[in-house]
Amino acid sequence: MSLLVVASGCFRSKTDEPVEPVAPTYVRVVNQAFLDMTVYVYRSSQRVRLGQANGNSVTRLRVPQSLLFGATPLRFQADPIGGSRQSISQEITVDPGDEVTLTIPPS
């Protein structure tokens, strides 16, 4: 004997209510070093690649909204392409919509 239950109906979702958009969050990378850097963000033990910051330039990289839940402590890592000196920043609390500046000094 088998039993099949089919449920159907109408419901109203809350998508009709206006939702305030969340401003994007950025990290501004001031790379004063000669080498290009791959930039990562850490939330707890999760590491996400943000992109590449070219040497001797300023790059603006977007932090994924999925990593931010209100005020969220994050760390940033700069991994030199063609080098071995990786650096990880101190932990900083970031709110959605913030722009954080990460300065990579010349080596």
Q: Nearest-5° angle of CA 66, CA 67, CA 72? A: 135
Averaged pLDDT for residues 49-62: 97
Q: Three-class SS of residue 44?
A: coil
Q: Which are the contacts of 41, defined by CB distance < 8 A and separation ≥ 6?
A: 27, 47, 48, 50, 63, 67, 74, 75, 76, 77
Residue 6: pLDDT band (50, 70, 90) is: very low
Query: pTM for the whole thing?
Result: 0.78
In the structure encoding, which two tokens stand for residue 84, read together?
A: 């071995």
pLDDT value, residue 82 = 85
Look at 8 and 59; give whichever has higher pLDDT: 59
